[in-house]
Structures are given as structure tokens and as C-alpha cells.
Amino acid sequence: MAFHLPSFTLLFLFSTTLLLCNAFPAHQNHHFHHPRFASHNYRDALTKSILFFEGQRSGKLPSNQRITWRRDSGLSDGSAMHVDLVGGYYDAGDNVKFGFPMAFTTTMLSWSVIEFGGLMKGELGNAKEAIRWATDYLLKATAYPDTIFVQVGEANKDHSCWERPEDMDTPRSVFKIDKNTPGSDVAAETAAALASASLVFRRSDPTYSKLLVRRAIRVFQFADKYRGPYSYGLKKIVCPFYCSYSGYQDELLWGAAWLHKATKNPTYLDYIQVNGQILGAAEYDNTFGWDNKHVGARILLSKAFLVQKLKSLHDYKGHADNFICSIIPGAPFSSTQYTPGGLLFKMSDSNMQYVTSTSFLLLTYAKYLTSAHQVVNCDGTIITPKRLRSIAKKQVDYLLGDNPLRMSYMVGYGPRYPQRIHHRGSSLPSIASHPAKIQCSAGFSFMKSQSPNPNILIGAIVGGPDQHDRFPDERSDYEQSEPATYINAPLVGTLAYLAHSFGQL
């Protein structure tokens, strides 16, 4: 896990440089007679983007585990507080379980399936498994009323070792929020995760779906009643790793939006109407990620107006349009920087998360606009859904190899991809090849080596290139070389859409 800069320190440099790279013909599918040429095998990328989550699993691994160099880990998690917190995901390249990004990852995986699951064919089951691995854990973490266990492991102590999750001997301390130490941000995001997942399982497992939505309601009430950022009471534990820089207002709006979608209960619509402005619905921020959910909430609520014709949410079309206008290269209010090679660039640390989350929002909003026969008007410049899809596709194509380095930033996809990702399990010998324990500090010799990682974490998307399209592929460079669950989660839906639209699914 890396140190994250607050989103409000970003420099939004105006740039209209969007060079269209020549299509890089990796994995062409000649047997599909489709009218449009696909430069990538989006179906293969979709399969791999979901497979990645199996490499991030904590707990007792199932018999159908496909990333087989991983083994069971963290089997006593929670015992420090006499609770069962076995399971869930390691967020990135270390062995801590951070509840805030895990919940956001779950919400984005669920949203991917809600919007594009119908196109996923054989991958739908795998996507649901990835969601369920998270929700089973989040149900454990929220088992007690007005309490959420939000972290297992101590980041500083974990980071002082370079060891496989299977060998972990750093403290598995458990940290929680409750009435006395509130955390509206992580609680409301957890509610969003449970509510969105309840929609995923509504038909296939109605009993599980009802459990998820009941828990979401209870967790959201706790988030709203006991207000405060979790990084106030737990500052020494969660900062600077997953400090809540944007406050908790965005999560309350986001959580309410998901509960409205999952329950159709008018009290959530009332909540959104009464509190929307206070919770920052109209702010001009345009960064969507694990910390700031404003833009996602705007797009989600715009659907209720555009598709379900909820007139009271009319303003959210305008709020969503403002976000779109800030992203479009060359539009009157564009405030987004692109690299010379055409990649959306927000910040040096784990930039690819903004590429995948923004691409997902562009495709999802294009879907809503198409359904309502609407467009975006950026001060006289008309932006069609087709334009939004085109921008999203260019971002994904860059990620998959259409870039100045001709490198795929998804591990295991294409002929050239990162070999030395910042990831303990991937960089150390597997249990199968090296059964003896590798001690805390002994692992650093592997971390510092120039050899490629012995275990390929298929589907992992790394932080990505810098603002000049450069990527050193160095293991120590966590800002560019570390993968994370919340980078992959939004891309799942985007790849399903692209694979379907090019006749690959």
C-alpha cells in the first residue's frame, strides 16, 4: 500500500494534447465478422481483470482457486478482538486489509455487474465470486450494531517486512469504528458496497441479497447518525495510507444513492433531496476514486432522472454534465490533463485508478444518455454518447498497449507488460517452490533484485506511467508499479462493454 496524496492538491493543467496512437494489433480476433476493427482482445482482458482478485484473496482459499501460487493466509484474523475477520482482500501489494478501499472495490465491482453483467457471458459467475469474497467479509466486519471493523494489520509494521501473506508474522491488530470513534466515510461506503451487491444477487440468491440489503440499511443509519471522518479517531492507523481527505459527505450521498437504488424506499430519495447540496452534490471536483465519490453519486443519481424519470433529481443531469465537460479534451471547461500519448493524468501515485474509474463513468453515462435520447452540452459544444464511448475506449486501449512504450499495463496481457510489480506475493518464491518460511527482512533481497517476479499476478493493473508516458518497471516504485483492487474493479464493467461491442462475447 502506498502513501496517497489528497485529491485537492492535484494540479488540473489544461491540455488538449490527445495523440491517437496507432492501433497495436495484439490478440486480433479475425473469426468475428464485426463491422468495427478491434485492436485488442477485450474478452481476454476481461477474464484476466477478474482473475486478478483471486491473487488478492485473504483467508482460506477454495478448491477452485485459479491463481495457484497463492495459499491460505490470515486464518486467525480477528482473534485479537475475539471476532472472525478471516477472508476479504489485500488491497494492493502488502498484507494489510484496509476496509475503506475494500468497500469501494466491492461497490465498483457490483456497479460493473449491474450495468454490464448481462454482457459478460461466462465471466459473470467469476465476477459474482469476486464480489461475494468481499461481501462475505464485509458481513463479518459489520456483524455487531454500531460497530465496523475497518482494518486488520498495522501498515507501518507490515511495510517494514517484505514477506508472503502465507508467512505473515507481523501483528494482525484489529481496528474498529463505533459510536465513540465514528467513521461516516468508511461506514457509508460499506453500506454502498452491501446495497449495490444486494442488486447483483437479487435474482441468483435472493436470501443472500436480502441479508445484504438489511445490513446496508443498518450500516448507513450508523454512518449518518454518528458523523465524523474515520481518519480523525484512527489517524495513526489509517493515515497516510487511506486517510479520508475528501471528508465523509460524499460517502453519505453515495451510500444514500445506492440504498435508494437497492430499496426503492422514498426515505432515501427524501434524504438525497434534503441533504444533497450540503453533501456536496454540486461541487466541481472531477476526481472519482476510493476517497471521493461525488462524481459517481452524480452519475448514479442522473440515471434516476434520465431513465426512471424522477423529475426531482433533475439537477443531477447538470451535475453529471459538468463532470463530463471537465474531462473532454478541448471542451470549453475542460480542466483535465492528458499525457502526450493520450492518457488521462490526475496524479503521480497510482494514476491508473482514475483512468479506469473515469472510463467506467463515461461508458455508464453514455448508456443512460442513450436510453433517454440525450446529449451533453458543454457551453455550446455538443458531446454525444458516442464521443464518451470513444474517449473511454482510447483510455482502455492505452492501458492495454496503444501507448508510446507499446506496453500493456495489465500483467499477463499482451506480449509486453510489467515484470517487476510492487507486490510481495508475486515477487517472492511461492510456497510450492520454496516451502520454508521467508523471514520478515529476508524478503528484501528479492524486493531489491532486478529479476522478474517469479509468480505472475495475472490481470493486475499497475499504477501506470508518469505524465510523460514513462514507466521504469521497478519493484521499489510503488507509485507506478503497485497494483490495487480499486484500479481493477471499474475496468471489469468497461471491458465487458467493449468485448461485447466488438463481437468478442
Residue 442 has pLDDT above 70, yes or no: yes
Residue 53 has pLDDT above 70, yes or no: yes
Contact yes or no for 194/263 (Cβ under 8 A) = no
Q: DSSP E strands: which ranges in 193-327?
A: none
pLDDT per position as a tens digit, 366-377: 999 999 999 999
Examine residue 22 and state whether it is found in any structural domain, yes or no.
Answer: yes
Residue 33 has pLDDT above 70, yes or no: no
Contact yes or no for 54/24 (Cβ under 8 A) = no
CA–CA distance, 24 with 22 (Å, rounded to integer) = 6
Q: Biggest alpha carbon distance in the chain? A: 66
pLDDT of residue 282: 85
Which residue is listed with cell 481518519? 231
Examine residue 150 and state whether it is found in any structural domain, yes or no.
Answer: yes
Other CB atoms closer than 10 Å to residue 134's CB: what's the count?
A: 27
Residue 12 has pLDDT above 60, yes or no: no
pLDDT per position as a tens digit, 56-80: 999 999 999 999 999 999 999 999 9
Q: Could you tell me which residues are beta bridge partners of residue 73?
A: 59
CA–CA distance, 204 with 406 (Å, rounded to integer) = 41
pLDDT of residue 2: 52
Is 473 catalytic? The answer is yes
The CA R_g of the chain, rounded to the nearest whole Å, is 21
pLDDT of residue 36: 61
Contact yes or no for 247/180 (Cβ under 8 A) = no
* Crossing angle for the helix pair 184-200 and 124-141, to the nearest 10 degrees: 140
Contact yes or no for 461/471 (Cβ under 8 A) = no
pLDDT of residue 196: 98
Examine residue 48 and state whether it is found in any structural domain, yes or no.
Answer: yes
pLDDT per position as a tens digit, 449-494: 999 999 999 999 999 999 999 999 999 999 999 999 999 999 999 9
Contact yes or no for 361/344 (Cβ under 8 A) = no
pLDDT of residue 321: 96
Starting from the edge strand earliest in sequence, which strands make up the sheet with 147-152, in order?
97-98, 147-152, 174-178
pLDDT of residue 275: 93
Examine residue 2 and state whether it is found in any structural domain, yes or no.
Answer: no
Average the pLDDT over each of 33-47, 79-93, 142-156 and give the range with the smallest value.
33-47
Annotated catalytic residue: which of 4, 40, 294, 422? 422
Burial grade of 264 (CB within 10 A; 0-12, 13-18, 19 or more): exposed
Q: Residue 77 is part of a domain; what is its CATH number?
A: 1.50.10.10
CA–CA distance, 463 with 484 (Å, rounded to integer) = 8
198 pLDDT tier (thresholds 50, 70, 90): very high
Closest-CA residue to 233 (of 290, 190, 289, 184): 184
CA–CA distance, 368 with 298 (Å, rounded to integer) = 12
Is 251 catalytic? The answer is no
CA–CA distance, 253 with 455 (Å, rounded to integer) = 41
Q: How far is residue 66 from each of residues 48, 458, 484, 491, measured CA to CA in Å?
A: 11, 10, 19, 20
Average the pLDDT over each of 49-53, 102-106, 162-166, 308-312 and give the range with the smallest value.
308-312
Question: What is the per-residue burial (b if ≥16 Cβ within 10 Å, else e) of 69-90?
Answer: bbbebbeebbeeeebebbbbbb
Contact yes or no for 417/408 (Cβ under 8 A) = yes
Annotated catalytic residue: which of 44, 54, 91, 473? 473
pLDDT of residue 37: 75
CA–CA distance, 364 with 110 (Å, rounded to integer) = 13
34 pLDDT tier (thresholds 50, 70, 90): very low
Q: How far is residue 453 from each of residues 90, 162, 445, measured CA to CA in Å?
A: 18, 14, 13
Q: How far is residue 416 from each of residues 8, 72, 365, 405, measured CA to CA in Å?
A: 34, 30, 32, 9
Examine residue 1 and state whether it is found in any structural domain, yes or no.
Answer: no
CA–CA distance, 482 with 492 (Å, rounded to integer) = 18
CA–CA distance, 19 with 2 (Å, rounded to integer) = 30
Other CB atoms closer than 10 Å to residue 314's CB: what's the count?
A: 11
User: Which alpha helices (DSSP H) does 276-346 contain, by range?
Assistant: 294-306, 315-327
Q: Give the range of the structural domain holding residue 142, as residue numbers without chain letter.
A: 7-501
Q: At 195, is the secondary structure helix, strand, or coil?
A: helix
Q: Could you tell me which residues are beta bridge partners of residue 97?
A: 152
CA–CA distance, 453 with 421 (Å, rounded to integer) = 7
What's the whole-number mean pLDDT along residues 248-275?
A: 97
pLDDT per position as a tens digit, 373-417: 999 999 999 999 999 999 999 999 999 999 999 999 999 999 999
What's the whole-number mean pLDDT along residues 346-366?
A: 97
- Write down the mean pLDDT value for the chain: 92
CA–CA distance, 164 with 150 (Å, rounded to integer) = 22
Examine residue 184 and state whether it is found in any structural domain, yes or no.
Answer: yes
Examine residue 100 and state whether it is found in any structural domain, yes or no.
Answer: yes
332 pLDDT tier (thresholds 50, 70, 90): confident
Which residue is listed with cell 476493427? 37
Q: At 378, is the secondary structure helix, strand, or coil?
A: strand
How many structural domains does the chain have?
1
Residue 427 has pLDDT above 70, yes or no: yes
24 pLDDT tier (thresholds 50, 70, 90): very low
Is 482 catalytic? The answer is yes
CA–CA distance, 128 with 284 (Å, rounded to integer) = 34
